[in-house]
Structure 1
Amino acid sequence: MATAVTGLRDWALASATRGLSVVDRALNEEDIRLAITGLSGAGKTVFLTSLIANLLAMAQGRATLPALQAVLDRHGGGRLRGVRLVPPGAGATPPFDIAAKLADLAGDSPHWPARTDHLAEIALELEIGPRGGMLGQMRGFVGVRRLRLRLLDYPGEWLLDLPMLGQGFSAWSRETLALLRQSPRAEAARPFLDYLGQIDGRRQAEEALVRRGHRLYREALARAQAEHGLRWLQPGRFLAPGPGVEQPFLWFFPIEGAGGPGSMIALMSRRFEAYRADMRSRLEALRGFDRRIVLVDVLGALAAGRAAFEDTERAIAAIGAALGGGRWFGRAAQVAFVATKADHVPELERANLRELLKSMAESGAGSGAGPVAGASFHVAAAIVSTTDGWADRPDGQREDVVWGRVLGEAAPRAYRVGSVPIRQPPAGFWSGRSFRLPIFTPPSIDPSGATGVPHLGLDTLLADVIGDRL
């Protein structure tokens, strides 16, 4: 009899423990899914590195993210009990290698981490004490909230391919080649355009000719990006292919005309359709991420000239329209646009930088994308590599500048990058422009990230994007 009673008691205790565990998970475990995207050079890798390092340091009592801390303290002080990195799960998405990125920035010769051109994911678990008030006290009986912040690094170039989902191969080829024949694309694409004029797409497909055309087209896109600062370049995966062995459906290029079965044009069309099918599967990674940050190198676009600026304008308008609406991802999402590298201009220019970003996202160079409903606009420097100051001009007048050490130089110097307009610049801006954008040496940091990373505006951005869940 005693044995039966003991067994019944143990069963009851185990059932109660399981029940409390279920209640605890239901009440205290939450996910925030935040995707960070941006075109090459916008600073996604540095942004993620700084965000993670500063959250970890904040949990150690460092005042690294004061605006985010203020949101937490609004409902009671000392609520952040801890932050830890969550080990990678069993999913197919590669993990974001935060340790390697921090190591690049640490040591005697800090350098900027290498760019990523593929999907990467990382998660942090924030332990947060209950809010004040009746609801907070009720939750406090169950336990500390465990808020899992899932971060996705998603190449912005892949999002440029979304319009291709609504096009056939012939329409895409006509539109792409029309752009490619305009300056400055024409200069970058000259070898490809010459090759295209020498072949007959209606003839039997020869793989050697196809592979050569694909290589020349991909090289044209790379030159347009690297030499002219252009950003509206499709397919985006030709520039950011991601890891792994390249698959044959990627081996295509735009070509006009109609061809029968077995022709080069028919082969290109089949591969185009296979590429679109693969694109749809890659979009699945974004479906669950209903908070999205779009990083934009506005200053780099200004420095590269009018064609690059208008190309960037069209690209970010298309990305914003895709991310903000429910057409591709099933539901609308919260989108925050961020002009990066804000430490390259003095404080008084940063308000202009934000307004220019807003103008770019909403106008889209006549792309027809329209404004992004509910989007917010920010300026930030994920890692600050300059200090604000002043310098004397040749005429004896003082001007606001930033002081920084350019890569390869031993001592810091004063830099006046140029005036930032608040909307699309007039023609005169480009004809007499002297806008330049140096690459500054990053500051050295603790390789563990325990002391945080100097930044500008990251805390206010995070407070705006995830503060409502804290």
Structure 2
Amino acid sequence: MLSKLSQNASMQRFQSQAKVLGHRLMDHHVSLAVTGLSKSGKTAFITSLVNQLLNARGSSELPFFSVVSEDRLIGVKRDVQPDVTVARFAYEQGLESLNSEPPRWPESTNGVSQVRLLIKYRNQSRLRRLVSEHSTLTLDITDYPGEWLLDLPLLELDYLQWCQNFWDDLHDPIKSSLAENFKAELATLDLTDTADEMQIQRISEVFTQFLHNCKEQGYQLIQPGRFVLPGELLGAPVLQFFPLTPTQLKWVTENQQKGEQSALFGLLNSRFEQYQKKVIKPFYKKHFKRFDRQIILVDCLSALNMGAHSFNDLRKAINWLLGSFHYGTSNILKRIFSPNIDKLMFAASKSDHITPEQQSNLVMLLESMIHEARQHIQYEGVETESTAFSAIRTSQVGSSALNGEPIQVLKGTTIDGKTITLFPGEVPKECPDQSFWQHQGFAFPNFRPMPKSDNKIAFPHIRLDHVLQFVLGDKLE
């Protein structure tokens, strides 16, 4: 019975892959990577994007999405799960949260999930109209925890290099103070002892708590990512290792030169290699080598609120992520055998948490954060764009006066249910220097979703139609 079920699952995977291959050949398939770190709004973004597309026929909410504005969209529907081994994206649960009383944000991602949409439209291209008046674009969207993304660069490191990087990062005084308990536990480790798995587990738990504390303090570059969001690996030995100190590593190296081995070092080194081999690589191969369009969501405002350490860490993390994807122009052969990402959008999320005249500043700030990485990507022939958007609008814009001068203000409801009206402050136009943080004057709020109007089917948004046009517009001609 189990064998028959396994054969059926294998056949479904083969049929799905063959279908995708045919669509790639006809350029009727888009695999979209929605990338971002924790709390950047990925789950809310995908929920809103699916909601907008399913209700886009005749919608007035997407004026800059050409297939809608030109009245060529016939309809959109969900299709069967593209990969039967991956969870179904929790769209219905997201809608339930957003439509509850009071509205709540959807639960954050804690595993990999996917959704497939079929977009049927009237062809505009003369070449396509020679074949058929209508076409259907298959859109696959993959959602995954932001924490797991930061593990991809670890594939380029060995255990010794990873340890060295960890202690280099502790030059940051805030991180160093957060690591005091871990450093104290590490000092009790005798590398001449036999490998004690219970001791390894105990120190790993202290190390994991350090990573959680860093995350709570606004740090973005948390590695290994599975330690703070383990998913199905909770309690597994592959998540029980930690970095040794430079002094300890020097001792290990000197003894290895004498032909002496440390069983404890061997176990930690092996666990790190197994983490690369059995956790990171399968995740990367399964989900990241087939993307051909990408949206990177960046929550600049929360990082600004947290301070210089959080903002600088976010900037570093984004540039790490950009090195983990395949970028380059695409053609038919590449689409079939080795597709690359040929369109990349950088999107500053939560633009409804600032006043409209500050949104251009937010875009400029984002561009200054990614400037160097973006130059390299554009050199590879990738089309890029930056924008500020809100997947689900949470505030209303009003006016007030300050020192006799008119100013824009926002009105919204905080997560704890308090209605406030405020001017959040100005967004810097470029990455701030150290002096900026001593005199900054902003406090960007964290609003909860607004109740959806009775006469509205889709959620209110800011520039989600621009995002859709950039990512899908050329595929719907």
CA RMSD of aligned residues (A): 2.6
Asked if structure 2 preserves the Cα contact closer than 8 Å seen for 1:363 and 1:370, the reply is yes
Q: Deviations over 1:130-189 (max 9, x none)?
A: 2264x243122xx63121110011333223223221211011112102313531111222
Q: 1:352 to 1:166 in 2, by over 3 A?
A: same
Partner of 2:369: 360
Q: Does 1:218 align with 2:218?
A: no
Q: Does 1:466 align with 2:472?
A: yes
Asked if structure 1 preserves the Cα contact closer than 8 Å seen for 2:290 and 2:338, the reply is no
Q: Deviations over 1:33-85 (max 9, x none)?
A: 101011001000100010000111103x22222211x2455xxx432111111
Q: Does 1:173 align with 2:149?
A: no
Q: 1:437 to 1:253 in 2, by over 3 A?
A: same
One-letter code of the match for 1:431? Q
Partner of 2:413: 405
Return the offset for 1:255. 0.9
Asked if structure 2 preserves the Cα contact closer than 8 Å seen for 1:111 and 1:441, the reply is yes
Partner of 2:385: 376
Q: 1:110 to 1:304 in 2, by over 3 A?
A: same
Return the offset for 1:319. 1.0
Partner of 2:130: 138
Q: Deviations over 1:403-459 (max 9, x none)?
A: 21212235x322222211111112221012232232212122389x98111111111
Q: 1:457 to 1:207 in 2, by over 3 A?
A: same
Name which of 251, 272, 282 aligns with 2:240.
251
Q: 1:82 to 1:29 in 2, by over 3 A?
A: farther
Q: Which range moved further: 145-154 or 49-58? A: 145-154
One-letter code of the match for 2:441? S
State the distance in 1 between where 2:24 and 2:466 align. Answer: 29
One-letter code of the match for 2:64? A
TM-score by length of 1: 0.85
Partner of 1:280: 281
Q: 1:165 to 1:32 in 2, by over 3 A?
A: same
Aligned pairs, number: 430
Bigger Rg over Cα: 1
Structure 1 gaps, min length 5: 1-20
Q: 1:450 to 1:147 in 2, by over 3 A?
A: farther
Give 3-state SS (helix, strand or coil) of 2:44's partner: helix
Return the offset for 1:190. 1.6
Q: Which range moved further: 183-192 or 432-441? A: 432-441
Give 3-state SS (helix, strand or coil) of 1:203's partner: coil
Give 3-state SS (helix, strand or coil) of 1:113's partner: coil
Partner of 2:226: 237
Give 3-state SS (helix, strand or coil) of 1:381's partner: coil
Partner of 2:184: 194
Q: Deviations over 1:318-356 (max 9, x none)?
A: 112322547xx9654122111100001111111111111
Partner of 1:396: 404
Asked if structure 1 preserves the Cα contact closer than 8 Å seen for 2:109 and 2:144, the reply is no
One-letter code of the match for 2:134? V
Name which of 447, 451, 470 aligns with 1:444.
451
Give 3-state SS (helix, strand or coil) of 2:295's partner: strand
Structure 2 gaps, min length 5: 1-18, 329-336
State the distance in 2 between where 1:36 and 1:254 align. Answer: 31
Partner of 1:299: 301
Partner of 1:123: 116
Percent identity, please.
30
Give 3-state SS (helix, strand or coil) of 1:111's partner: coil
Give 3-state SS (helix, strand or coil) of 2:130's partner: helix
